[in-house]
Amino acid sequence: MIKTPYYLLNLQRLSANLNGLRVAFSTLWSNFLIGYSFKTNNLPWLTKWMHLNGTFAEVVSSAEYQQAKRVGFPINNIIFNGPVKGNEALLEAVKNGAIVNLDNFEEIEYLIQNLDCKIEQYEVGIRINFDLESVCPAETIPGKEPGRFGFNVENGDFEKAIHLLKKAGIKVVGIHGHHSTRTKSLKVFSVITSEICLLLHFLDKVKYIDLGGCIFGDKPGAPSFDEYASTVINILKANKVPSSVKLIMEPGAALVASPFSYVCKVVSRKDINGTRLVFTDGSIKHITSQMNTIKFASNCSSKSENIIHRQIISGYTCIEMDRFLEYIDKPELEIGDTITVSNTGAYSLSLAPLFIEFFPQVVVNDHDKLKVVREVWSINEFMQNNILDQ
Ligand SMILES: *Cc1c(COP(=O)(O)O)cnc(C)c1O
């Protein structure tokens, strides 16, 4: 049975996003691969769907790596990134042909000490860290602070890492250049691609170029998949990168933000000082757990002809600012009306806390057929692994 609050996944929209990205890139570069970023939305049903629809898993921790295996990704369909992978998972991934992008010298040392005598057969990639901010001012997340991820090019760490791996016999076959930015601009992608092209000659053999994620999806007015693809691939061609080199993108939000919405129900109302406070069984914590905006697209089921000047739609938590929509001069919301907030697929479900309530349901809409793919949590799931002995 479906019950509010719940996340609702529109499967046709998800398919359209994935196909759109795939067609845009593979038309221009046939050796193209998508690694779905687990952290953006780690719903198990969704990650399995990605596997069944031909993406690789892009994971950044032992926990995500285990999930990828559990939902069916073979290890050689996993891209393993991240600064803290966990040694056991790192070793297993390298030994079994995952695409592993190393992030620090400790990982290199660990692999050199723990890979067996057939060390020459193993391949890894390297994540680069370079001063993107100086070429794209105000676009990066850390700004003038150094980025945390990968081997820095300017201070010599990148070359040192290559040297250490080569000396040990481990082949370096790929470069990973993901950068989170505020802008997701075409310029960011052209700068990252150019930087990678400059570094390719350091590799033993170039098997892949991984540009990471942080691109727009179907957001109106933003760069399109076609524009990202042509920007990047023109640079690869200008640099005479052979077409045998695999081009990898690791989208998260671009695929999953728009297909999800969040549905909750009105449970009570108060009028205070000219404002109608509308309480729902949902929460801003399920929409944006950082609570950084109340600007969401939404619609509601209200059939009332009564127009209310100002309605504030709020949640079940005891946080004063659990308010997620402001309706001005809109039909009166009545008890039992549902409110649907759009574009809630990225960094919502995977960041939702177990705060005050249990995790909500997730429902898939496939051509208007609804199916529950995650049951609401109960006290049983909440209590698992707890030890009450005093
Ligand atoms: C977060 C992340 C992504 C996906 O980012 P989106 O903004 O959701 O597209 C891809 N690759 C890496 C390494 C990441 O950390």
pLDDT (0 to 100) of residue 13: 98
State percent of the chain over pLDDT 70. 99
pLDDT (0 to 100) of residue 6: 98
Ligand 1: nearest atom to the Cα of 212? 11
172, pLDDT greater than 80: yes
218-238 tens-digit pLDDT: 889 999 999 999 999 999 999
Ligand 1: nearest atom to the Cα of 251? 9
The residue to mutate among 18, 40, 50, having the most atoms of ligand 1 within 8 angstroms of its beta carbon, is 40
Ligand 1 contact via 250 beta carbon (within 6 Å): yes
The alpha carbon of 250 is separated from its chain's Cα centroid by a whole number of angstroms, namely: 8
Ligand 1: nearest atom to the Cα of 82? 13
pLDDT (0 to 100) of residue 291: 72
pLDDT (0 to 100) of residue 117: 73
21-38 tens-digit pLDDT: 999 999 999 999 999 999
pLDDT (0 to 100) of residue 84: 98
Question: The tokens of 213 are what?
Answer: 């994620």
Ligand 1 contact via 39 beta carbon (within 6 Å): yes
Tell me the mean pLDDT in the region 33-53.
98
Ligand 1 contact via 104 beta carbon (within 6 Å): no
Ligand 1 contact via 40 beta carbon (within 6 Å): yes
Ligand 1 contact via 178 beta carbon (within 6 Å): yes
Question: The tokens of 370 are what?
Answer: 């609804």
For all residues of the chain together, what is the average pLDDT?
Answer: 96
User: 211 C-alpha to center of ligand 1: Å?
Assistant: 10
259-282 tens-digit pLDDT: 999 999 999 999 999 999 999 999
Ligand 1: nearest atom to the Cα of 347? 8
293, pLDDT greater than 70: no
Ligand 1 contact via 179 beta carbon (within 6 Å): no
User: 277 C-alpha to center of ligand 1: Å?
Assistant: 37
Tell me the mean pLDDT in the region 97-126.
94
Tell me the mean pLDDT in the region 61-80.
98
Asked if residues 316 and 4 have their Cβ atoms less than 8 Å apart, the reply is no
User: 101 C-alpha to center of ligand 1: Å?
Assistant: 14
Least confident window among 70-74, 139-143, 298-302: 298-302
Tell me the mean pLDDT in the region 319-345.
96
Ligand 1 contact via 82 beta carbon (within 6 Å): no
State the pLDDT confidence band at 206, using cuts at 50, 70 and 90.
very high
State the pLDDT confidence band at 369, using cuts at 50, 70 and 90.
very high
Ligand 1 contact via 256 beta carbon (within 6 Å): no
pLDDT (0 to 100) of residue 294: 63
CA distances from 5 to 2, 11, 333, 338, 347 (A): 9, 19, 17, 9, 17
**What whole-number distance in Å separates Cα of residue 334 and Cα of residue 267?**
8
**What whole-number distance in Å separates Cα of residue 84 and Cα of residue 90?**
9
User: 37 C-alpha to center of ligand 1: Å?
Assistant: 6
Ligand 1: nearest atom to the Cα of 180? 7
pLDDT (0 to 100) of residue 120: 83
CA distances from 210 to 89, 203, 309, 368, 375 (A): 21, 14, 51, 37, 36
Question: The tokens of 337 are what?
Answer: 């009306």
Tell me the mean pLDDT in the region 275-300.
89
Q: How many CB atoms lie within 10 A of CB 364?
A: 21
Ligand 1 contact via 37 beta carbon (within 6 Å): yes
pTM over 0.75: yes
pLDDT (0 to 100) of residue 246: 98
Asked if residues 258 and 13 have their Cβ atoms less than 8 Å apart, the reply is yes
pLDDT (0 to 100) of residue 296: 85
State the pLDDT confidence band at 204, using cuts at 50, 70 and 90.
confident
Ligand 1 contact via 17 beta carbon (within 6 Å): no
Contact partners, residue 104, CB within 8 Å, separation at least 6: 83, 151
Asked if residues 341 and 298 have their Cβ atoms less than 8 Å apart, the reply is yes
State percent of the chain over pLDDT 90. 94
Is the torsion defined by CA of 140, 142, 146, 149 positive or negative?
Answer: negative
User: 300 C-alpha to center of ligand 1: Å?
Assistant: 32
Ligand 1 contact via 98 beta carbon (within 6 Å): no
Ligand 1 contact via 213 beta carbon (within 6 Å): yes
Ligand 1 contact via 55 beta carbon (within 6 Å): no
